[in-house]
Amino acid sequence: MAETEEKTETAAPTSRQVAAARDFVKRHGKPSRAVVENIGRAGARVVLVGADGALGDVIVASTEAGEALVEAVEDLEPAEWDSETVKATKIGAEHRRRMAGK
């Protein structure tokens, strides 16, 4: 029974997470895409790909919360890492430096 209660608590994104995703869509265009990825005990990462190709992310408590986040944000479409989504990304030099830890 505790497992059921835990899933209920983590099935909804926080208002701050929803606001971050809405802000991303506002800044990077409509429609934006969202790929929900399980990252283990830490929860899930919702990778955002803007209409302009920008990347962002929001960390949530579970994949269920990630899916609920996508549903809660207008103009945010669920996606997978298929060729269309990958082609839509534009990774600039600044983002590459950050990923390299520089």
Task: Give the Cβ contact number of residue 18 at 10 Å.
Answer: 18
Helix (H) or strand (E) holding 60: strand 55-60
pTM of the model: 0.83
d(CA 4, CA 80) in angstroms, rounded, equals 27
User: Is the predicted pLDDT of residue 100 greater than 90, yes or no?
Assistant: no
Paired with 58 in beta bridges are: 46
DSSP states of 31-57: SEEEEEEE-GGG-EEEEEE-TTS-EEE
Average pLDDT, the chain: 89
Digit-coded pLDDT (tens) for 27-56:
999 999 999 999 999 999 999 999 999 999
Which has more pLDDT, 101 or 12?
12
